[in-house]
Structure 1
Amino acid sequence: MNKLAPAFVLLTTLLAAAAPSQAQFLTPQPEQQQAAQTAAPDDGTLDRIVAIVDEDVVLKSELNRAVGQILAQYRRNPQQLPPRPVLERQVLDRLIMTRLQVAKAGQSGVRIGDVEIDQAVGNIARTNKMDVDQLRAAIARDGLSYEEFRRNLHDELLTQRLRQRVAQSTQVSDAEVDIMLAGNSLKSGEVHLAHILVGVPDGASAEQIQAAREKAERVQREAAAPGADFAAIAIRSSDGQDALDGGDLGWRRYDQVPEMFADLLQGMGPGQVSPAVRGPSGFHILKLVEQRAQGKQLVTEFHAQHMMVKVNELVSEADAEKKINELRRRIEAGEDFAKLAKSDSDDATSANAGGDMGWFPIDTYGPQVGEVISNLKDGEISQTFRSNAGFHFVKRLGMRELDRTEEARRTQAREAIQQRKAEDEFDNLLRQLKAEAYIEYRLAGYDSKGEPTGS
C-alpha cells in the first residue's frame, strides 16, 4: 500500500472538513430540508441536519465523514484530540466557514473550471509521487469518493482565490514603506510559529469575556509547562481555524507575522510560549517553535548576446536549424556577433541591440536558457538549442554578483505591509460573513447559536 505524503493527508483532511452538500448552489425548500433529515448516510443510520447556513445545510453524514478523516489522521495519537463533542463542534465550525467563503466567492464572480481542478489533482499526485490513478486509489482507501474529493478541491480552490482577491485589492504606498524602514521595525529572518486562540464571540458579555480570559490563562499555563505538548493542547483547546493542525502556522518571515504576534515575539526564544493576549477575535497564545537568520541578499547576474531563428509556416524546422548552425559557424570564424544579430536574428527584443540581452538574473528567460548560460565561460558560445519558438544560441559576456540587500529590504517591507493588511481585511471579511449570515446549530449538546447547553 502506498504511504501518502503528509501534504496529501493534510489536504484530504482539510478538504473533508470543507465538504459541501450536493445542493451547494440550490435553495433548499422546506420539503428538501425534510428529505435531507431522513436521507440515509453511509453508516445506514438516519441522516439529519446539524447546521443551517443561510439557504444551505450541513448534514450529519458530512460531519461524520469529516470527523472520520480527522480521527484517521490521528489514529496513532488519539490522545491529542479533544473529546468527540468538542471535535465535532470544531469541524462543524470549519464546515460553516467554508460554506460562507464558497458562497461569497460565487457572489464575487470567482469561478473554478474543470481544467483548473484537473491541474490541481495532477499537482497533488506529483507531490505524492503518484499518477492520477494511484491517487484515486489512495483517496478511496481513505474513505472518500473521487467525485467528492473533486468537489472539495473545487471549494478549496474557490476559498484560495477569494483570499487572493482580497490580497490583490490591498494597496501599499511608498510612504508606508519609508515609515516601516525608518522605524527599524522590519526584522530579518524567519520564525516557525504555533498558535492557540480562545475565542470571544462578537458582542460578548462581560461574563463571557471573563470566562474566556480565565480559560486562556489556564491553557497558557498548561502550554508553558515543561514538556507540554503544544500541538495536543491546541487541538483540544483552540478555537482557531488552525486548531486541527495543532495550531501550526508554519515558517514565516518576521515581517509576515501579524503585528500583534510580532509584539508577542519580542524577547522570546525557541520553545517559549507567550502570555495570553486579547485580540479582536479572542485571546491568543503563541509558541516560537524555531527561528533562523537571514543573510545578505546576493543576486548573480549574467550578460549575454543572443541569436534566434524562428520556426513558422514559412520556415521549416530543418531550414531554421540549418540557418542557426551556419550563423554560429560564421561567428566562430570571426564575424561580428552584433552585426549578424541585427541582420539575421528573429529575436525582436535583442536584435536591434546586436543581440545584447543586457544583465539579467539566471531565471529571467526560463530554466533552459539559464542552464545553458550557467554552463558557459565568459566569451564562450553555446551549442544551438531548440525551444518552442525556434533555434537559438547565446554567447556569455560576463557574470557578476550584486548585493541586493537594501533593495530586498524595501521589497520585503512592501510585502510585509501588504500581507498584514490583507490578513486583517480577510479576518474582517470572515467575521462579517459570519455576523451577517443566518446560522442555526442543531448539534447535540449545543443550542441554536452554538453555545454549550451543558447536557
Structure 2
Amino acid sequence: MTKGILSLAALGLAAVPASLTAQAGPTADDPLGIPANISLMREANPNVRTATAIVNGQVITGTDVDQRLALVVSASRNQLSEEELQRLRMQVLRNLIDETLQIQAATAQEITVTRAEVDQRYNSLAAQNFGQDPAAMDAYLLSVGSSPASLKRQIEGELAWQNLLQRNISPFVRVSQEEVNELLKRLESSRGTDEYRLGEIFLSATPENRNSVIQGAQQIVEQLRQGASFVAYARQFSEASTAAVGGDLGFVRLAQLPAELATVAAEMQPGQLVGPIEIPGGFSILYLIDKRQVLMADPRDAVLSLKQISISFEPGVSQEIAEAQVERFANGVEAMRGCGDADAAAAALGAIVVSNDQIRARSLPEQLQNIVLNLQIGQTTPPFGSIEEGVRVLMLCGRDDAEVAGGPSFDQLMDQLEEERINKRAQRYLRDLRNDAYIEYN
C-alpha cells in the first residue's frame, strides 16, 4: 500500500460537498479527520450484539463466553440486569479475544505452557480459596455455571503471555544504576510523605470505542460498590499486567503515577473506590487498599497482646434484658484492675476471655485500630457487637511498636522500574496483535 492519498475520482465516487471537505483531514481535536455531518449507509441496531468470534481461524464459542461470564457474575453480590449482563458479555468476549491472541502469539514463537504448569497454578488458587482441595473448587465452578476448563484456559493465557513477554520484551528493557540511585535519593527526600497501596483496573480505549468503554467501566464500578470482588474483576477485566495479581500495584508514591491518577489518589482514604478516570490510552478504576508514610514506622504494624472479653445472650432475649446485661458487663469491665485481674473478674461476670499476644494492629477492623493504638496497658475499648453476635471488649496487655521502615532496596526499585516499562511495552504489543488480527463475529 502506498502512502499517497487516492482521489475520489480514482475510486469512482462522486465528490462530496465543499462544506464537508472543509472539515475533513486530521486535526489536533479530531485526529481521524471525520466530518461533522455523516450519512449512515446502514442502520445501527443497539439491540443486536454478537457473542462469538473467530480469531485468526480459532473459534470462541458461546459456551466459552457463558462460562467465563459466570466467573464474573459469581463475584457480584447483586442480581444483574439484562442490560448489565449484555455489557459484561461483550467485555468478556473482548477479553477472550485478547487471551486468544496472546496464546496464538506465544504458540507462533514455539512458547508452550504445559498442562503441569496450568495445574500447578490452578491448585495454588484452590489452596488459597478452598483449603488445598481442587475438587472443591471444581464443584464450585460447576455450581456457578462455569467450569474448571474455563479457569484453566484463563491461567494458560496468563502464563503464555508472561512467558512471551519474558522472551520478547524483558531482555530488552534496561534500567541503569544511575536511574535507580536517583530514585533512591528522591525516596529519601520524600521521607514522611504518603505512599499508597492501590488496586487498579485498566481498560484501554480508542476514540472509536471510548463511549462503550466508559459504559463498561461505570458498570464495573457499580458492581464493585455493591460488594463485588475487586480482585476477581481485576483478573477478568483489567488489561494491565497486574491483572494476574488482582490489580495490586503495591505501595507507590504519587510521583510514580500518571498525573490524572495522582490527583485522585491524593484525596482517597483506605477502602475507597474511584473511577472511571480517563488517562492516556484508556480508563482506570482505583481502589485504595492501604496508605502509609514513606520510610516511617507504621503504627499499625505494632504487634499487640490483647485479651478479648465477651458475653453472649440467650436466644430470644428481650432488648430490655440485653441492655441491662450490657450495662452490667460494661461496668464490670471498667472496674477491672488491669490484665492480671481480667480472668477472675470476667468469670464473675459470666464472660469469656480469649488471649492473643501476636496480633498486628492493622489486622483489626479499621474502626478499632486507632482506638486500640491509643490505649494504655490494662485499658479496654468501648463495648462493641450486637445481641445476635454477642458483646465484647479488647483489653491491651502489651505492645511492641513497629521498627522504622528501611524502605525498598536497590534491587526492589530496579525491579519496579523494569516492571513499569515492561507493562507499557506489553500494552503496545497487544495493541499491535489486535491491529494485525483477522476477527470474524458471528
Q: TM (normalized to structure 1)? A: 0.48
